[in-house]
Amino acid sequence: MKKGLIVFMAIVVYTYSSAQVKKVDPDSLLKVSAAEARLRNFKVARNLIREEVKKYPNYQDLQFAFLNYLYWDGVDDSTFRMLDTLLTKYPNEFQLYKIGINTCYSIDSTCYNYYNALAIKQFPDSATALITNTAKFLYEKRRYKASAEMADSALKMPNADSTVLNDIKFHYKITDNYKLAGGGYMYFWIGADPTWPRHQFYLEYQSKSDFGIVIPRAHLASRFGVRSWMGEVEFYPKFGKNNYFYGLISFSDGVLFPYWRIAAEPFFVNQRNIELSLGWRYVDFGSLKLHSFTGSAGRYWGNNYASARLIYTPFRNIGANISGVVSYKYFLNNPLHFIDLKVGYGVSPESEYLDFNLAGTIFTRAFRLSAGYQFWLEKALLIRINGYYERVNPSPRAPFDVYGFLGSLLILL
């Protein structure tokens, strides 16, 4: 009995000792870690194979798996350290360069360009795709000039994606600097005098540069059997990082347009893309001169922009008109391609159809609505269409409606 017990204990000790020294199968651990990674438990996956990675530095699948777990988990510093080690051992593995490029994507362009240059040098046959991706990277970082230059380089290479690359070049052309020339037509049917609709034609030239945007225009209008002209300059100089100034100076013969219109308003945009402004307007009809004070608050997010504006206009010595407008823009492929909606209350001295015969309606109640769509045709013609409606209640006069239409065509020079 005693002898049998000793033999049994010896077997148990031997079995336990064997279990302690038995080697762990790295292939099995790799499969288990991969299962954890599929569940997005990247830290658990790394811990399962961490010791094996140290024991088997030449086991490529194991090393690459650990690198991927670091990359997918966003552990950038450790990813770069391991990546640089593996690149010296496996310089022909394209996947390693892709990990470096993708990791740098959200960090900075210096890091991105480093791994991109290594990949181009090692894989010249993939240079077109790599340079195209670099153009996309710079474009998404809003470095439009650099992205356009990179796109231009890629277009000279074989098998270039001309559609994507030309889109990048076009976006730069209309975002950083552009010149547009053309004209438009406005029609207003005004219920106060329904037999005399207002027709208005204009020519304009838009120029965007490092200074900002400058838009000179020349208008010709007809109503009541007479013609009238107006010249104006609208400008948006930039100052600070994201701020800009809106200015307007116009002058006319004073027949269907006010003699003078002047506007001045700075816009301030903070890091959260919230925009605030405070400005002044002046309209001179000769015997009637109006000063207005205005302010707005808006916000940009994604492809959207919304704002609310109030306009305060003292009217002689009998009170003041307070008007407001809420605006919304949805940008499509680029800053000049958008849908525009406006809803307002009160009559503003900035109204396009406001001539001397309607100047008295500045002190009144009104509701107005407009909708517009601006789009590109063949990346060469910028077309805008706009509809307008206003219900005016100029007490004690009878209420009337205003319907308007605008169409314009500008050529990208």
* Average pLDDT estimate for 107-114: 79
> Is the confidence at residue 395, as pLDDT, over 90?
no
> Is the confidence at residue 8, as pLDDT, over 80?
no
Residue 375: the pLDDT is 96
Structure confidence at residue 109 as a pLDDT band (50, 70, 90)? confident
> Is the confidence at residue 357, as pLDDT, over 80?
no
Residue ranges of domains in the chain, CATH in brackets? 30-175 (1.25.40.10), 178-412 (2.40.160.40)
CA gap 119, 143 in Å, rounded: 22
Global confidence as pTM = 0.71
Q: Give the list of residues 6+ apart from residue 301 with CB closer than 8 angstroms, or none.
A: 273
CA gap 207, 413 in Å, rounded: 10
Residue 335: the pLDDT is 87
Q: Could you read off the pLDDT of 146-194 as tens digits, one per residue? A: 888 888 888 888 888 888 888 888 888 888 789 999 999 999 998 878 8
Residue 240: the pLDDT is 87
CA gap 370, 132 in Å, rounded: 41
User: What is the percent of the chain with per-residue pLDDT over 70, rounded to a whole number?
Assistant: 89
Residue with tokens 């181009």: 120
> Is the confidence at residue 386, as pLDDT, over 90?
yes
The two three-digit tokens of residue 3, written as one number: 């002898």
The distance in angstroms from the start CA to the end CA of the chain is: 106
Query: Which DSSP letter does residue 196 get?
Result: S
Nearest-CA neighbor of 263 among 246, 276, 278, 277? Answer: 246
Q: Could you read off the pLDDT of 130-146 as tens digits, one per residue? A: 888 888 888 887 777 88
Residue 30: the pLDDT is 86
Q: Helices 127-140 & 109-122, crossing angle to 10 degrees?
A: 170
The two three-digit tokens of residue 21, written as one number: 């020294």
> Is the confidence at residue 341, as pLDDT, over 90?
yes
Query: Which DSSP letter does residue 22 get?
Result: P
Structure confidence at residue 399 as a pLDDT band (50, 70, 90)? confident
CA gap 369, 371 in Å, rounded: 7
